[in-house]
Structure 1
Amino acid sequence: MNDIREFATLTSKGQITLPKAVRQVLGVDQGGKVRFEIRSGEVVVTRAEADHEDPAIGAFLDLIERDIRAGRHVGSLPDDVAAALLAEVKTPVDIDEDIEGDVAL
């Protein structure tokens, strides 16, 4: 396989679009997951496996996805649960921030 060199532009919200050639090589499409690893100053992008490492979290995420796809409203989490989840986030989160671009589930 020939080496592929592609470029992407970072948006003001830190987002990029993976170039088509990269998506094809990784075998990911809309809704696909990728993993970023930093190795000796280089970023390595690989296709992420569909299953979550923790089966309980994976099942919970699957339940939420089914509800969203079925058009059911996902209610608010109890404050203590929301706080515990946000405490696990490694980057600041602004839940009132507008989502830019298309969202795929």
Structure 2
Amino acid sequence: MRVTEKGQVTIPKPVRRSLGIEPGSEVEFVLRDGEALLRRVEPETDEREKEVAAFMNHMRSFIGVMDLGGLSTDEFMSLLRD
């Protein structure tokens, strides 16, 4: 494998597949005893972010299915504002 002038190398497809590396994935190199270990970095999401994502997914499931009981959009929005 050859290194480009910019210090870049191509990660072989079997290695990408094995590590689950896709376009946009984060990777890191760890130096250990004169060798470099490549590993995929798991995206860090805190508990709050997971809760927000779950809530947003739940809310998306209601798009276009809300029954306003005969109220117009303006009437419904007025109820929300009061």
- Give the structure-1-normalised TM-score: 0.40
Rg (Cα) greater in structure: 2
Higher helix proportion:
2
